[in-house]
């Protein structure tokens, strides 16, 4: 059901009963001890210690340990630094020691370090490159000092090292580019000795920050969130519950909105600190006002303690057990309809009617419940809606693949034609070259015909080169001279000349047959007349 289940096992520093915590903020520091006693009695073991409440937390834990209700090792203390704590290393170490002394512990379980500059609403756009580098250098200096105070013992090993006051290091309200600047600095700067294990920020189902949660989980950083579960607190006015939450409450026998939304967050692999109702102006003016706030806070803590019971998922053994189905988880995911939701899942935004869920009447809800009891498929309508969408997407992909194949075939044909044309061109050039070098032996006289391969009348055993009126070398020259062949192409070999000189008898026979041969006989009639 969850894509962050890895953070609920051995890889997390929080076990199942420590994944719901409490922020030790009260209307008045004087009432902190009373409030923490109620929290400890409700099995809350993870405490986010606010500045000024260290002694109240230590007193409440000591009182619970005296009654042997819990062991001190079961508690986890989380302390957050401030932006001005980046000043000097001496001041930073002194503050860590002071927190350990006030809480009466040897080591803090988790120390959260903020960025030297408060995050901007526009992210990194408000800072230029030099300013971001300056902030990263300052943050790295503080982080290295905290690493020197961190224990080298691994998870599961117990013991206290002298001079080591921190077990784990985390980040406070840090965004993506700041995490990358700290964990993966540009060369030649080395990576830090210890990586952060947690990042604390605020979220609600209507502003889920799922893109930030997935970013942190992908880098092994667990998310600790101040969980705003009341819609009225989120919007500042209006109703306290959403229509989707109201329907889910009916489907789960009247479970509270806090329980349903907290279980949704736990299934997403988050450690939550539910936001409690605060008194106006932070200080109760009368005893009745404080008693009213204390009762509401106690009820809220009791609702949370049900989720912490290890048997709450087993229906036969625990009457308060309930679980959310995958469909209900998706419905709660759709509560975030803003920019964060679009980044969370692009596929859901492209689907038809995404984020639009029709209200069901009580009769429809009852019929749906009967179908579920009879073994019917309660996701049939849900699946039909998205089946058409996925089928259309699949057809579009197939058409695109076919178009790509056709384009590739055309490209192959064009390439083949280019290769063939180049081959044919080379063959023609070879033929023309061969025709230039070709020789023939002429042993009888023939008449000259313009435009054809001409053979000149020669004596017997006289070899003369064959001339072609269409040869490429002579085409331009033929156009200049009216298509007449060149006489310079007529050549006699040395052996042929010797034959002419040594065989006089044969020459006399030839003269008797064809008469006297002269250069004029080799020329066309147009040249002879000149």
Q: What pLDDT is recorded for position 352? A: 40
5-336 in CATH: which number?
3.20.20.100
Q: What pLDDT is recorded for position 251? A: 83
Q: Where are the beta strands (DSSP E) in 104-206?
A: 110-114, 169-172, 198-203
Q: What pLDDT is recorded for position 444? A: 42
- Sign of the Cα torsion 492, 495, 498, 504 reads negative
169-178 residue pLDDT tens? 999 999 888 8
- Sign of the Cα torsion 379, 380, 385, 389 reads positive
Distance between CA atoms of 306 and 13, rounded to whole angstroms? 22
Q: What pLDDT is recorded for position 8? A: 46
Q: Where are the beta strands (DSSP E) in 462-508?
A: 463-465
Instruction: Give the residue ranges of the chain where pLDDT is below 50.
Output: 1-10, 313-320, 339-361, 375-379, 382, 439-492, 497, 500-501, 503-517, 519, 522, 526-527
387: left (phi over 0), alpha (psi -120 to 50) or beta: alpha
- What SS3 class is residue 243? helix
410-431 residue pLDDT tens? 666 666 666 667 677 777 778 8
Q: Render the burial of 43-74: b for 16+ CB within 10 Å, e for the rest.
A: bbbbbbbbeebbebbbebbeebeeeeeeeeee
Distance between CA atoms of 107 and 111, rounded to whole angstroms? 10
Distance between CA atoms of 142 and 16, rounded to whole angstroms? 32
DSSP 396-418: HHHHHHHHHHHHHHHHHHHHHHH
Q: What are the helix (H) ranges across 176-242?
A: 176-183, 210-218, 231-235
Strands 439-441 and 463-465: antiparallel
């Amino acid at each position: 059901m969850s894509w962050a289940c890895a953070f609920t096992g051995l890889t997390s520093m929080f076990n199942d009963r420590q994944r719901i915590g409490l922020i030790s903020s009260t209307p008045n520091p004087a009432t902190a001890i009373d409030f923490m006693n109620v929290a400890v009695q409700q099995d809350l073991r993870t405490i986010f210690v606010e500045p000024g409440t260290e002694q109240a937390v230590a007193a409440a834990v000591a009182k619970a340990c005296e009654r042997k209700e819990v062991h001190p090792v079961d508690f986890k203390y989380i302390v957050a630094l401030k932006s001005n704590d980046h000043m000097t290393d001496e001041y930073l170490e002194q503050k860590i020691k002071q927190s350990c002394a006030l809480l009466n512990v040897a080591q803090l379980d988790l120390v959260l370090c903020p960025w030297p500059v408060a995050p901007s609403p526009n992210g990194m756009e408000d800072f230029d490159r030099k300013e971001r580098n300056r902030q990263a250098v300052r943050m790295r200096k503080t982080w290295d000092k905290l690493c020197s105070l961190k224990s080298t013992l691994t998870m599961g090993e117990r013991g206290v090292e002298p001079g080591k006051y921190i077990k784990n290091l985390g980040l406070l309200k840090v965004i993506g580019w700041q995490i990358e600047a700290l964990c993966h600095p540009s060369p030649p700067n080395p990576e830090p000795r210890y990586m952060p294990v947690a990042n604390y920020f605020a979220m609600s189902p209507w502003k889920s920050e799922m893109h930030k949660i997935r970013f942190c989980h992908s880098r092994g950083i667990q998310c600790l969130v101040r969980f705003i579960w009341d819609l009225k607190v989120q919007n500042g006015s209006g109703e306290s519950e959403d229509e989707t939450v109201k329907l889910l409450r009916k489907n789960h026998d009247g479970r509270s909105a806090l329980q349903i939304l907290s279980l949704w967050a736990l299934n997403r692999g988050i450690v939550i600190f539910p936001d409690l109702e605060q008194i106006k102006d932070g200080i109760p003016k009368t005893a009745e006002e404080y008693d009213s706030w204390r009762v509401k806070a106690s009820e809220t803590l009791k609702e949370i303690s049900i989720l912490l019971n290890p048997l709450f998922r087993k229906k036969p053994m625990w009457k308060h057990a309930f679980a959310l189905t995958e469909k209900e988880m998706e419905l709660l995911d759709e509560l975030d309809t803003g920019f964060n939701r679009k980044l969370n899942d692009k596929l859901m935004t492209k689907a038809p009617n995404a984020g639009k869920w029709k209200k069901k009447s009580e009769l429809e809800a009852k019929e749906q419940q009967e179908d579920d009891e009879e073994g019917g498929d309660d996701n049939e309508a849900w699946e039909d809606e998205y089946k058409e969408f996925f089928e259309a997407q699949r057809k579009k992909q197939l058409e695109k693949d076919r178009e790509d194949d056709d384009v590739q075939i055309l490209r192959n044909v064009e390439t083949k034609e280019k290769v063939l044309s180049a081959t044919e061109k080379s063959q023609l050039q070879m033929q023309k070259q061969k025709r230039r070098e070709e020789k023939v032996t002429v042993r009888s006289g023939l008449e000259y015909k313009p435009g054809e391969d001409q053979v000149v009348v020669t004596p017997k055993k006289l070899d003369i080169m064959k001339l072609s009126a269409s040869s490429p070398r002579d085409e331009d020259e033929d156009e200049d001279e009216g298509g007449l062949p060149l006489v310079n192409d007529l050549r006699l070999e040395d052996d042929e000349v010797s034959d002419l000189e040594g065989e006089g008898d044969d020459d006399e026979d030839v003269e008797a047959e064809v008469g006297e041969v002269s250069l004029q006989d080799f020329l066309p009639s147009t040249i002879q007349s000149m």
